[in-house]
Amino acid sequence: MIGSKHPHALAVASMLLLASLSCAHAEGSEADFKTAYAAADAAEKEAGTLRNQWTTTESTLAAAKKAADAGNFDRAVALSKEAEALAKASIVQSTSEKDAWKALDIR
């Protein structure tokens, strides 16, 4: 057993494994952030063409970027996903309001 014969080697291997896992995790998260942020940004741009962006989408996108700059990719990904959901909700609002506004019209 490697553990009993070479306890130091096991500790070093464990540390290396942990380090490599955390590196892989960090790299993966950054890539995840970039993907998530790009999706959110694209949705927000679409809301922009519909002239209906939400301030909360903008602030959540900014917070995602800030978290990524600080190396907190888990949070950055979560915020990007939240921003994407907000942007998509504003798009749904624009689409439904194309006709829905007429219900409020005073006649």
Partner 1 sequence: MRARFMIRLASVALVLAAFCAGARLAFATETPDPVADAKAFRDYFTKRFPKVKLEDFVNGPYSMNEDMHKQWEEKEQFPPYEFALEAGKEMFSKPFKNGKTYADCFADGGIGVRQNYPTFDEKEGKVITLELALNRCRQANGEAPYSYVKDEMASLTAYMAFTSRGKAMDIKIPDDPRAREAFQDGKRFFYTRRGQLNFSCATCHVQSPGERIRAEVLAPALGILNAMPIYRSEWSGMGTTSRRFTSCNSQVRSVPLEPQSDEYRNLEYYLSYVSNGLPISGPGARP
Per CB under 8 A, residues contacting partner 1 are 51-56, 58, 86, 89-90, 93, 97, 100-102, 104-107
Cβ at position 7, least distance to partner 1 in Å: 58
- 79: Cβ contacts below 8 Å, ≥ 6 apart: 60, 61, 63, 64, 67
Cβ at position 101, least distance to partner 1 in Å: 4
Burial class (CB in 10 A: 0-12, 13-18, 19+), 34: middle
Q: Which is nearer to partner 1, 52 or 72 (CB)?
A: 52
Cβ at position 89, least distance to partner 1 in Å: 8
